[in-house]
Structures are given as structure tokens and as C-alpha cells.
Amino acid sequence: MAINKQPKKPLFNLIHSKLAITLFFIVVFTIPALLLLHTPSASLCTTLSSNNPWSGDLRDTVFPWNRLKFVDHEPPPITLKIAVFSRKWPTSSTPGGMERHAHTLHMALARRGHQVHIFTSPIDDDIASIKQRMQIQKSPNLSPIVHWHEGEPDKWRYNKAWEQFEEENKLKSFDVIHSESVALPHWLARQVPNLVVSWHGIALESVQSSIYQDLTRKPDEPISPAFNQSLQGVIPKVLNEIRFFKNYAHHVAISDSCGEMLRDVYQIPTKRVHVIVNGVNEEDFTQDLSLGHEFRSRIGVPRNASLVLGVAGRLVKDKGHPLLYEAFSKLKLKHPNVYLIVAGSGPWQSRYKELGSQVIVLGSMNPIELHGFYNAIDIFVNPTLRPQGLDLTLMEAMMSGKPVMASRFPSIKGTIVVDDEFGFMFSPNVESLIESLESVVAEGSKRLSQRGKACQKYAASMFTAQKMAMAYERLFLCIKNQTFCMYP
Ligand SMILES: *[C@@H]1O[C@H](CO)[C@@H](O)[C@H](O)[C@H]1NC(C)=O
Ligand SMILES: *[C@@H]1O[C@H](CO)[C@@H](O)[C@H](O)[C@H]1NC(C)=O
Ligand SMILES: *[C@@H]1O[C@H](CO)[C@@H](O)[C@H](O)[C@H]1NC(C)=O
């Protein structure tokens, strides 16, 4: 086996890279902070909540389109032929991240009567044909048409997909082409004026991620070679992205802060950057008190529990589990009636089990079980160290009527916890997390459930899959014909 030996770098080079990281730290944190001082949420809230709703050219907006009202009980003014490039098209019921977004969005657009063609990597042949037949039988015209390119299962080959796209485009031109991240690479995207790309995390956000992750390292803990290696690549990655992103005609950012970075650091013209926050299925996540009670007793939360915290997702280091593990192991000694429910799987699952009876470890859960989980807790905790994108779990918890506590990232602060009423934010370190947890315990479950009501209301207005689909539909219409860019 070959060991990849790094040549020793002269000292000034090391200083150089440290300096570069510091500089980026300044860029990443100061610019958005300065912008937030005099822009969006505050002034916008007044504009939108007053009797005069916002009107104008949608391409000039910097706030999320989710804040606007769209007519969703009528069919669209025209139906579009839409091409979607997605590395994968989910076949299981619990796909993650990007695929789930593509699936939720385009199923909804197809139901609204648009002709949606998905260009994606192959899956096992038998499953593919069964799935396809089932979809067609269920609703012959209201499903996306899936084009699996040939080749190995799950191996994305954009050039194969592009060939299929061109065939289909010859029959009748597509009105809009949607790429999930770089599924369609920039050298092809450059030729496509009616293209929309959705970014679910950009390299500039991963700079922050590296900073937060390294800061959690103990003074005597050596930096892991893999992480050290990735640090070297972080800034070149950002520079590379800045150089090629402009080849995509339209950009969808999934958080306010990502939109800001695309405009202010990536230098994409405002008119080509649109913020549309991802949505979650509103039917899957509702407030249901009796379900919550039932779930609690089923998993063995004792009746004398004064407060129940919940955490869900992949139980890995970069989702901040070392922080929560340490913080809760201290908190539980002081507060013997406070419980933590852990949903999800990953390396930290067994660590949590070591913490004793105040921690209930459930393993991974499907959406139905998650619905019970959210209803069973008093507050949802997300100690993530990864600011890339925006975790859907935060929206699911709020939709289920629960307040949240999360790492103070520009994305979370700018798009999720936009009102102090919605919960708590902490710096991603143990001390700050404990401090936040102590405030939550001091507040108690009654106050938290009040906060939860505010969360539910906000989430229902902003984070539904329907709202996301309507916002994308409007963007696609606007790209097809400029008259649709004028709102309302
Ligand atoms: C990290 O990487 C730099 C540059 O590649 C190298 O000089 C340094 O020794 C590495 N440090 C560790 C702890 O691996
Ligand atoms: C809460 O109840 C459990 C069992 O129902 C019991 O073991 C525990 O001691 C109680 N805790 C306190 C602090 O009263
Ligand atoms: C754009 O839409 C408007 C209103 O529906 C219509 O009058 C106009 O002809 C359309 N333009 C094009 C180029 O299709």
C-alpha cells in the first residue's frame, strides 16, 4: 500500500496557510455580520407584515421567496417541460439531503401538471422497472418521467445523462433545466441560459465547518492527518467555486446566508441569485400531543421527567455529538429529571448509551417514528459543526410545534431562529452549550411549549414542501417568460 507522504513545507508556508485561514475567518464572519446589521430580517418583516405586501420584480429579492404567498389552489398559468439533473433519484422512503429535496420538489411539480423529466444514475434494473411501472399505474400523467442512464448502478455519468437529455430536447425543447448541485458540470451548464442550479452547501461554508471542527479539538489532541489534509484544500476549493459558479445562469440558495455569500463573496449578480428554503412534507410533521405522550411512555421516559431534550440525525463527530455528549454528561448530574432522547445512528450511538438512564438511545427512525419523536420532546437540540446547507431536522421539529436550540451559524440565525422566541443559539463549544442548556432547564417545559407554538406558526408559513414547490414553480415560470417575474 502506498502511503501518501506530504513533503515537509517550509515554515513560512505554514504561516501563510494559517494566515489565509485567518483571513477567510474574517471574511466569512465579518461580512455577513456587517450585512446583517443593516439588512434583511428586521426591515423586511415590517415590509411584509404590514398591510402592503411586498410587490416588484422577484429577481430583485434578497429574502427567501418562501415568505411570499403563491396561489396554489389553481393550476399554473402555463405548464412547463422541466429537465432535472440529479445524481440519484431516491427509491427508498428515507432518502437524505439533496435527493430528498429533488424528490419532494419534483413530485409536487409533476402533480401540478408540469412535464418533469428526471435524468439520473441507474439503479438495480429490476427495482427500476418495478418502480417506474408502479408510478405510471398510480397516476399516469402526474409523475415525473425518470431517465436512468445506462451503466453501473448509482454511478453518475453526466455525459450519458446529457445525451439522453439532448434526445428528449430534440422532440420538444425544455423550458427550464434544473441541476441539483453540480450534477450538470459547469462546462456544460455554461451553454444553457435557462438553467437553475440549487446549492445545498458551498465551499465557503465548509471553511467555517473546518474552523468549528478544529476548535473542538482538545489542547493535547493531535490533528488527524485526514483533517489536516482537508484543511489544505479548503481555500483552493472556495477559489475554484468562485471561478466556476458564474457559469450557471440562475442560482438557488437554500438559506439567507448562502444567498448573501453568493452575492457578496462569489460575486454572482443579485438578479441571478434566488433564496428558496427547502421544505418538509407538512403532512408528515404535525403537532400531536397524544402521540407525544404515547411515544414517551413507550420508550420509557419516566413520569417524573421535568424536561425532555431530543437530538436526531447522523450521530457523527461533525454533527457536534462530542459536544452534546460532554455537555449532557455534566448537565444530568445537576438535573436528575432531565432526559435526552437520541434518534439516529452512527459512531456516537454507543457513547450515548454509556451515559445511563437519563439518555434514551433509539437508533435510526423512519419519518413516521420521527413524527412521534418530535412530539415527545420539549426542545430539539442541534449542536452541528457543519454550516453547509441547512438541516431539515430543525424545520421538522418546528413544524411539529417544538422550539429548537442550535449552533449559532449564519444560516441558522438568518433563516431558522430569526426570532428569539423560536429558541436558543449557542457557540459550538461545550461551555456555551451547557450555558444554553441551563437556560432551557430553568425555563421549563411550559414556557418551551409556548415557544413551540410560535415555531409551528412560522414553520407552517415558511418551510412546507408546498411553499417550496410553489416558489420554484414561480422561478421556473419567470425564467420561461419574464411577465411571471412580477409579483404578485
Ligand atoms: C499538516 O499539514 C501540513 C502541510 O501539509 C504539514 O506541514 C503539517 O506537518 C501537518 N500537521 C500534522 C499534525 O499532520
Ligand atoms: C423518577 O422516577 C424514576 C422511576 O420512575 C425513579 O427511579 C427516579 O428515582 C425518580 N427520580 C427522582 C429524582 O425522583
Ligand atoms: C408571456 O406571458 C404573457 C402573459 O401570459 C403573454 O401575453 C406573452 O405573450 C408571453 N410571452 C411569451 C414570449 O411567451
Q: Cα–Cα distance between 193 and 473 in angstroms, integer?
A: 17
Closest by CA to 256, choosing from 416, 124, 139, is: 416
CATH code, 47-279+466-487: 3.40.50.2000
Q: From the CB of 290, is ligand 3 less than 6 Å away?
A: no
What pLDDT score was predicted for residue 40? 43
- 3-class secondary structure, 154: coil
Pocket test for ligand 1, best of 6, 224, 231 (most atoms within 8 A of CB): 6
Quick: pLDDT tens for 432-448.
999 999 999 999 999 99
Q: Whose CA is nearest to atom 4 of ligand 1?
A: 9
What pLDDT score was predicted for residue 358? 98
The residue with greater pLDDT, 88 or 100, is: 88
Q: Whose CA is nearest to atom 3 of ligand 3?
A: 483
How many residues does the structure list for the chain?
Answer: 488
Q: From the CB of 15, is ligand 1 less than 6 Å away?
A: no
Q: From the CB of 224, is ligand 1 less than 6 Å away?
A: no
Quick: pLDDT tens for 37-74.
334 444 444 445 556 789 999 999 999 999 999 999 99
Quote the percentage of the chain above a pLDDT of 70.
Answer: 85
Beta bridge partners of 425: 406
What pLDDT score was predicted for residue 30? 46
pLDDT value at 10 more than 50: no
Mean pLDDT estimate for the chain = 89
Q: From the CB of 289, is ligand 1 less than 6 Å away?
A: no
CA–centroid distance, 326 to ligand 2, in Å, is: 23
Which atom of ligand 2 sits closest to the CA of residue 336? Answer: 13
Q: From the CB of 127, is ligand 1 less than 6 Å away?
A: no
pLDDT value at 34 more than 50: no
Q: Whose CA is nearest to atom 13 of ligand 3?
A: 481
Beta bridge partners of 346: none
Beta bridge partners of 117: 83, 145
Q: Whose CA is nearest to atom 5 of ligand 1?
A: 6
Q: From the CB of 228, is ligand 1 less than 6 Å away?
A: yes
Quick: pLDDT tens for 98-130.
788 899 999 999 999 999 999 999 987 666 566
pLDDT value at 332 more than 80: yes
Name the DSSP class of 427.
-
Pocket test for ligand 2, best of 304, 332, 337 (most atoms within 8 A of CB): 304
Which atom of ligand 2 sits closest to the CA of residue 357? Answer: 7
CA–centroid distance, 390 to ligand 3, in Å, is: 36
What pLDDT score was predicted for residue 168? 97
Put simply, whether the predicted model's pTM sits higher than 0.85 gets the answer: yes
Domain ranges of the chain: 47-279+466-487, 289-462
Two domains, one topology: 47-279+466-487 and 289-462: yes
CATH code, 289-462: 3.40.50.2000
What contacts 335, CB < 8 A, 6 or more positions away? 306, 307, 441
Determine which helix (DSSP H) or strand (DSSP E) holds 379, and give its type and residue range: strand 379-382
CB-count exposure of residue 285 (10 Å: 0-12, 13-18, 19+): buried
